[in-house]
Structure 1
Amino acid sequence: MNYIVFEIGIAIGLIALAGLLSAKLRFSVIPFYILVGMAVGPHSFEFWHIDLRFIESQPFIEFLGRIGVLFLLFYLGLEFSVGRLIKSGKSIAVGGTIYILINFTLGLVFGWVAGFPLLELLIIAGITTISSSAIAAKVLVDLKRTANPETEMILGIIMFEDVFLAIYISILSGLILSGSTSLGGIAMSALLALGFMLLVLIIGRKAVPLLNRMLNIRSNELFLLVIFAILFIIAGFSETIHVAEAIGALLVGLVLAETEHMKRIEHLILPFRDFFGAIFFFSFGLTIDPTTLGGAVWLSIGAVVLTLIGNFAAGMWAGHSAGLSAKASVNIGFTIVARGEFSIIMANLAKAGGLLPIVQPFAALYVLILAVLGPLLTKETKSIYKLLNWIFRFKDKRVNAQKH
């Protein structure tokens, strides 16, 4: 018998309990959502003869999770604006290139040292390069850092990563699934993704007066229906041309942030962002099989350490190139250190291509660790900056003392 409503009810109850526990312990809520999802996922055991495996409802929960990603990125776009993004275009391109270059190179080196064959090595590099836009968005909003000077660089890197992802997945899909790839097809895919982003931003900015008139609706019900229609149509269409639907949602938010209705949209969207965002992280936990993680522990820990180093270096370099302070640069590196949905996509591609089975548990454990560590480290960036400042000052004093 189908008990989908009851299963969804239990899922929401567990998410609420996880949220209450995190508030009590004063920790980031994201790891709690993921861990409770993992604990009751399809691979969990029956406890006291009560089956909490959500076998029937998991596909629906995953779909609700996808909606959560859209709201998280849409809200982040609302907190920002197209104008600020365009002004920082050059520094974002430089910062995005630095970020991809450092993390992708480290991923290739790590895969090579670990002894992976070529295709697996390329998958590992992809898994360790692309950060989680959903987690980054959630952290920025929760910590009230959307107005910070480094946020435009963080948003820019997220968008830059998506262009890279469109190209990279095109290459890997050809290599792994068909054994070949077309250079023309890859170039077209990349140009299409980049062109779509620029087109939405440019046309959206020009259409602000029209949007102001169109959204002049008294009824909150009709107002929300129009906003949701714009959001889902643009996000859904972006996916059809190989641009992540989350980036489509971010673009819509950036455009609507320029309108005079921004505050009203923000106020009405907030409950949807929080509810569906929580379900996303829970649904992500459902996909992780705890029984397969043991064989990939050391491999995952090694990759996590390398990613933390790479992100810190990339954040410092990208921040310096944009003229940001050292403190803001530390924020950049750690805010986008979490890995998530895109890394899992890469791992699923390896599974579809029949590559080494170790890739799946490695990706799951690597993502889980960074999904837990990322928000915690981002919250403590002020303390990390102070510690690093003290270490370097202490080192300088010792060097000066030795000279004299």
Structure 2
Amino acid sequence: MLAIALPLEVLPEPETSHAGAVLIELGIILLVLAALGRVAARLGIPSIPLYLLAGLVMGDGGFIPVSAGEEFLEVGAEIGVVLLLLLLGLEYSPEDLRNGLKSNWAAGLLDGVANAVPGFAVGLMLGWSPTAALLLAGVTYISSSGIIARLLDDFDRVANRETPVLLSLLVMEDIVMAVFLPIVAVLLVGASLVQGAIAAGVALGIVALAFVISMRFSHHVSRLVHSRSRELLLLGVLGLTFLVAGLADAVQVSAAVGAFLLGLTLSGQVADDVRTLLPPLRDVFGGLFFVFFGLMIDPRDLIPVLLPALALALVTAVTKIYTGMWAAKRNGIGPKGQWRTGLSLVPRGEFSIVIAGLGVAAGAESQLGPFTAAYVLILAVTGSLLMRFANKIPPPGTWWGASTSPARAPSPGATPSRVTGRAQRDAST
């Protein structure tokens, strides 16, 4: 046999394709999430804070930098938020939400003033421009729908009497963001207030149209996607969800709001089947969302802004708790339910990062990105833990041996009509 010797340097070096590198990184991330989930279950704490810290360790400036799969993770994170809000919307009917918005508009106004003003004031105190301070006001105002929606399901609190109140506040915040983001985007490029008002009007019109469709044509939409085949049903629902979320995002309305409104629209057997099929998919992509959030933070940038971010986090955690308790009390929720509502509003997350990202991209303020990252990380972790131990932390009225004042009679529509299979909590909780 003739042996042919080739110089070693002539042989091509084996290379890992880009797709292979993405798969390797994704595999490592999922295995890390699985391990952290087991640790969290063993310790009896939420897995979300551990996922956030894992992203912090694996991001830029961390110990295990992730680069090849970052684009995939970004898309996966967006899918995670969309699925979280879709499934939350499936738990309620449009009538429930409409009644909740009517009864909680005053609480929504208090929520905006009490939580946006501290952010704006701190921005000005730090010497930032009014536009950058306005961006920080948005960061401190908006709670994390993604984190809260995930934890409500994890802690089996979707059927609690206070959950519709909490949901109403979150939806009002998202609607405010539908107006706030276009205006801020216009201000950052130096356009006129008239252009910002037009953009905000378009966004509000889209949201109003979605509400009308969800309230009047829900049966038609459900029949459109219904199928006895699990495969076809899943394909139809996911396709419609991503389409609606993408169109919402294209007109400067949150993709999460679009997914939530679609969840309200689906009803009957379709809603029941989707609630059974989607949770595993939501959990996987939801985990990627929290990891991706951590990946965007460079730990080295957090140190200079840590103390002011911590102080602002403390102030706005208190204002959020007060807002939630006040809203729950107005709806006839008992002291424990009021306390849970307030603690559940503490986490900040995806929207805050989006708002800061607009300012960073436009060069509004160099410290806005790190400050927001530190602020959100503090409240995402702390808020998750507060939600986990809400039933074990005594309400403020009991700290000095005093009893909390009795709750008012519940307002109409306070209890979700679509939640089945779970006992409704007594008004005293």
Q: Does 1:192 align with 2:206?
A: no
Q: Secondary structure at the match of 1:381?
A: coil
State the shift of 1:355 in Å. 3.0
Q: Please, which moves more after superposition, 102-111 or 229-238?
A: 102-111
Q: Are positions 1:363 and 2:363 aligned together?
A: no
In structure 2, the residue matched to 1:222 is 232
1:248-397 alignment runs, 5 A limit: 248-256=258-266, 258-384=267-393, 386-394=394-402
Number of residue pairs matched by the alignment: 386
Larger radius of gyration: 2
Residue aligning to 2:30: 12
Q: Higher mean Cα deviation, 8-17 or 151-160? A: 151-160
1:108 corresponds to 2:120: yes
User: Are the counterparts in 1 of residues 53 and 294 from structure 2 also a CA contact under 8 Å?
Assistant: yes
Partner residue in 2 for 1:83: 95
Match of 1:31 in 2: 49
The alpha-carbon deviation at position 223 of structure 1 amounts to 1.1
CA contact (8 A) 2:162 2:341 kept: yes
Worse-superposed segment, 344-353 or 202-211: 202-211
For 1:173 and 1:387, how far apart are their aligned partners in 2? 40
**Does residue 129 of structure 2 align to residue 117 of structure 1?**
yes
Q: Which amino acid aligns with 2:192?
A: T
1:209 paired residue among 210, 219, 226: 219
Q: What is the distance in 2 between the residues matched to 1:242 and 1:140?
A: 27
What CA deviation, in whole Å up to 9, does each residue of 1:135-156 have, x standing for no partner?
A: 0111111111111222222222
CA contact (8 A) 2:166 2:324 kept: no
Q: 1:182 aligns with which of 193, 201, 205?
A: 193
Deviations 1:78-103 (CA, angstroms, capped at 9, x unpaired): 12221211222312322211111110
**Offset at residue 392 of structure 1 (A):** 4.4
Specify the code of the residue in structure 1 equivalent to 2:263.
Answer: G
Is the Cα–Cα contact under 8 Å of residues 131 and 337 in structure 1 kept in the other structure? Answer: yes
What is the distance in 1 between the residues matched to 2:97 and 2:289? 27
Give, in angstroms, the shift of residue 57 of structure 1: 0.8
Query: Aligned runs of 1:133-148 on 2, under 5 Å?
Result: 133-148=145-160
Q: Distance in 2 between matches of 1:290 and 1:186?
A: 35
**Aligned partners of 2:209 and 2:248: how far apart in 1?**
12
Verify the 8 A CA contact 2:144 2:350 in the aligned structure 1: yes
Cα distance change, pair 351–146 in 1 and its aligned pair in 2 (3 A): same
Deviation at 1:212, TM superposition (A): 4.5
Which amino acid in 2 is paired with 1:33?
A: Y
C-alpha distance 220-282 of structure 1, shift in aligned 2 (>3 A):
same
Distance 1:277 1:195 in 2: 29
Deviations 1:45-64 (Å, cap 9, x if unpaired)?
4xxxxxx3221111111111
CA–CA separation in structure 2 for the residues paired with 1:188 and 1:174: 10
Q: Secondary structure at the match of 1:393?
A: coil
Offset at 1:190?
3.0
- Relative to structure 1, the CA distance from residue 234 to residue 392 in structure 2 (aligned partners, 3 Å threshold; closer, same or farther) is same
Tell me which amino acid in the other structure corresponds to 1:98.
L
Q: Which moved more, 1:319-328 or 1:133-142?
A: 319-328
* Counterpart in the other structure of 2:242: 232
Query: Could you tell me whether the CA contact under 8 Å between 1:163 and 1:190 is conserved in 2?
Result: no
SS at match of 1:352: helix
Give RMSD over aligned pairs.
2.0
Distance 1:5 1:108, change over 3 A: same
Q: Tell me the CA shift for residue 334 of structure 1.
A: 1.6
CA contact (8 A) 2:222 2:265 kept: no
Say whether the 8 Å CA contact 1:92–1:156 is kept in structure 2. yes
**Other-structure match for 2:420:** none
Structure 1 window deviating more from structure 2 (319-328 vs 368-377): it is 319-328
- Which has a greater percent of helix? 1
Displacement, 1:226? 0.8
Deviations 1:213-249 (A, max 9, x none): 3344221111111111111111111111111001111
Structure-2-length-normalised TM-score? 0.85
- SS of 2:364's partner is coil
Residues 335-375 of structure 1, C-alpha deviations (whole Å, 9 max, x = no match): 12111111112222221222332221111111111110111
Q: Distance in 1 between matches of 2:356 and 2:222?
A: 43
Q: 1:114 to 1:324 in 2, by over 3 A?
A: farther
Matched residues, percent identical?
Answer: 34
Write the distance in 1 (CA, Å) between the matches of 2:381 and 2:85.
20
Work out whether residues 15 and 278 of structure 1, in 8 Å CA contact, stay in contact via their aligned partners in 2: yes
Specify the alignment match of 1:48 in structure 2.
none
Whole-angstrom CA distance in 1 between matches of 2:133 and 2:275: 42
Secondary structure at the aligned position of 1:17 is classed as helix
Give 1:119 deviation, angstroms: 2.6
The amino acid across from 1:224 in the alignment is L
User: 2:324 touches 2:345 (CA, 8 Å); kept in 1?
Assistant: no
Distance 1:189 1:298, change over 3 A: same
Return structure 1 stretches of 4+ with deviation > 6 angstroms: none
